[in-house]
Amino acid sequence: MRYVRYVGYGVLALFAFLFLHSWGAYNTLVTRDEGVKAAWSEVQSQYKRRLDLIPNLVRTVEEYATHEKGVFVQVTEARAKMAKAVNTDVSALASNPALQQQLLESQAALANSLQRLLAVAEGYPNLKASENFIRLQDELAGTENRVAVARGRAIKASQDYNAFRCRALTSLYNNLWHFPVREYYQAPENAEQPVQVTFGKG
Amino acid sequence: MKKMLIALAACILAAFATGASADVPVLNGYVVDNAGLLTREQRQKLEGALRALQHQTTAQMIVLTVKDRGDLDAKSFALKVVEKSPIGVKGKDNGLLLMYAVKEDRFRIEVAYGLDGVLPDGLCGSIIRDVLRAKADPIKHPDKKDFAGAFEDAIAVIGKLIAKESGVTLKPVESQEYAENDTHTSPVWYVGTLGLIISGVFGFASLFIGGVSGAFFGAIAGFMVAATLTGAGIGALIGFFVGFIARFILEGFWYVGSPVVEAGFSALGGAFGGGGADG
């Protein structure tokens, strides 16, 4: 009956392995989950960054295009409305693709009125040549890029988290731990049109 | 000695990291002149200035020229470059990439999070328009663009801004002091060269990490397994299983193979978020 002892060792080794592995898996899940939330929080702050640019932009255009009051009012109103949408709770945002879609679409609406503002500026060559306006356009292009990068990373973080959560042993443990799925909203190709500045393409 | 240890750690991490290998160049020097726009002396002079900047402010600025960007736009290309070859100090996020593509005739300055305050996007745009284009404009200098001069001026301007932010006064570069041929002082360079060698050793564990590295090291592991049939590779087989087990355990504690631990942050180097300007 010597092999009983070896079987015992084997079982012990198995439990030791499972214990270590589950410990590691739990830590990884927690960290990746926090990564997802951090990524969505980053998306929100980049959208906020765009919101913060707007008053400056409006003021600059206003200086030159004094008679285009309508567009300014529209942009300022859109901004006020969107300022609320950007402050959703991140944990809710991270697992709710509907909320993500809402955020995306509300910001896209704002982008539209921004685009209209820039279209107005097109008709004022002095404005277009002013250093201030040119720099603001750079800022705007930069912010659009940051938003796009942040969204891409948030989606990637969600994918990595979900992939890990679904692994063989991890999904087994998860029956006990109940880590939720972090779904994400994959926008169709042309859903978000970033604000096109006159240069800075390519 | 410390740098060797950092380099070794870098190689180990590189062995485990699943990098999507896009077709962007690796940054293996302060000045990566893939488009051949600079002479050797010009390059060394720029490298000297960049090395001085890093030594005096820890901010790492890299100059990159490419012939063309393929079908990527400036923003995506620059971001891929800095994601592939991390620059700047992790935590401080003070990396900066100044890039020029010949075919598209476009500069791009890519700024890490930490330098956002010093070099906001608008200012980067100004630097491109007023400093770089002053010497390298397609209309004003159709045949004789002075890239060396343009880069030198840009480095001077940017260096001054960064130094002012850190409260440091940049000491002028003594060409002799810095133009020595020791571009291999930063861990970034080791990742490219030694990484391949050491990756082979850790190849057993890498077998189960997907992607390009997985396929490559799968071949090595396969060879090792075949070698065991002759009895000579028993050690390799043991290593294989040890690596396999180790990977699972390590994965928990060190998140090995986790490409996105914190979104957008690499294991080495500073974090880039898509800031900067092009023109």
* ipTM for this model: 0.80
pLDDT tens digits, B77-93: 999 998 888 888 888 88
**Of B264 and B164, more confident:** B164
Instruction: Tell me, yes or no, if B258 comes closer than 8 A to chain A by beta carbon.
Output: yes
pLDDT at A190: 61
pLDDT at B158: 94
Whole-angstrom Cα distance, residue A87 to residue A30? 24
Pick the residue from chain B with its C-alpha nearest to A42. Answer: B263
pLDDT at A91: 83
Residue B93's nearest CA partner among B101, B82, B103, B84 is: B82
Q: CB distance A153–B264 less than 8 Å?
A: yes
pLDDT at B43: 92
Residue B261 — pLDDT band, cuts 50, 70, 90?
Answer: very low
Q: Summarize the confidence of residues A24-48 as an average pLDDT.
A: 90
Instruction: Tell me, yes or no, if A151 comes closer than 8 A to chain B by beta carbon.
Output: no
pLDDT at A92: 84
Q: CB distance A138–B122 less than 8 Å?
A: yes
Pick the residue from chain A with its C-alpha nearest to B249. Answer: A21
Q: Does pLDDT of A186 surpass 50?
A: yes
End-to-end Cα distance, chain B? 42
pLDDT at B20: 42
DSSP alpha helix (H) spans, chain B: 2-16, 40-57, 74-84, 121-126, 133-135, 147-166, 175-178, 187-201, 203-206, 212-228, 234-254
Whole-angstrom Cα distance, residue B55 to residue A114? 43
pLDDT tens digits, B29-70: 899 999 999 999 999 999 999 988 888 888 899 999 999 998
Q: In a 10 Å sphere around its CB, with 0-12 CB exposed, 13-18 middle and 19+ buried, how is residue B259 labelled? A: middle
**Of B6 and A126, more confident:** A126
pLDDT tens digits, A55-87: 888 888 888 887 778 888 888 888 887 887 788
pLDDT tens digits, B96-125: 999 999 999 999 999 999 898 899 999 999
pLDDT at B254: 41
**Of B243 and B152, more confident:** B152
Most confident of the ranges A97-101, B218-222, B226-230: A97-101
pLDDT at A125: 87
pLDDT tens digits, A110-145: 888 888 888 888 888 888 888 888 998 899 889 989
Residue with tokens 């994601």: B83
CB B153 within 8 A of CB B26: no
Best residue of B133, B241, B262 to probe chain A, by most A CBs closer than 10 Å: B262
pLDDT at A193: 64
Of A32, A164, A202, the CB nearest to B73: A202
Residue A166's nearest CA partner among A155, A176, A177, A181 is: A181
pLDDT at B249: 56
pLDDT at B236: 52
Q: Summarize the confidence of residues B196-204 as an average pLDDT.
A: 49
Q: CB distance B277–A136 less than 8 Å?
A: no
pLDDT tens digits, A152-185: 999 999 999 999 999 888 888 888 888 888 888 8
State the smallest CA–CA distance between residue B15 and chain A in angstroms: 19
Most confident of the ranges B104-108, B178-182, B203-207, B267-271: B104-108
Mean pLDDT of chain B: 72
Q: Concatenate the DSSP letters of all residues of B34-77 into one string.
A: TT--S-HHHHHHHHHHHHHHHHHH--EEEEEEES--TT--HHHH
What are the chain A neighbours of B77 within 8 Å (beta carbons)? none
Q: Does pLDDT of A102 surpass 50?
A: yes
DSSP alpha helix (H) spans, A65-167: 69-85, 90-95, 97-122, 125-129, 131-165
Instruction: Tell me, yes or no, if B279 comes closer than 8 A to chain A by beta carbon.
Output: yes
pLDDT at B124: 94
If phi > 0 it is left, if psi is from -120 to 50 it is alpha, else beta; for residue A178 that is left
State the smallest CA–CA distance between residue B29 and chain A in angstroms: 26
**Of B229 and B61, more confident:** B61
Residues 6+ apart with CB under 8 A from A126: A64
pLDDT at B202: 52
Q: CB distance A149–B251 less than 8 Å?
A: no
The SS3 call for residue B145 is coil
| Number of CB pairs, chain A paired with chain B, less than 8 A apart | 117
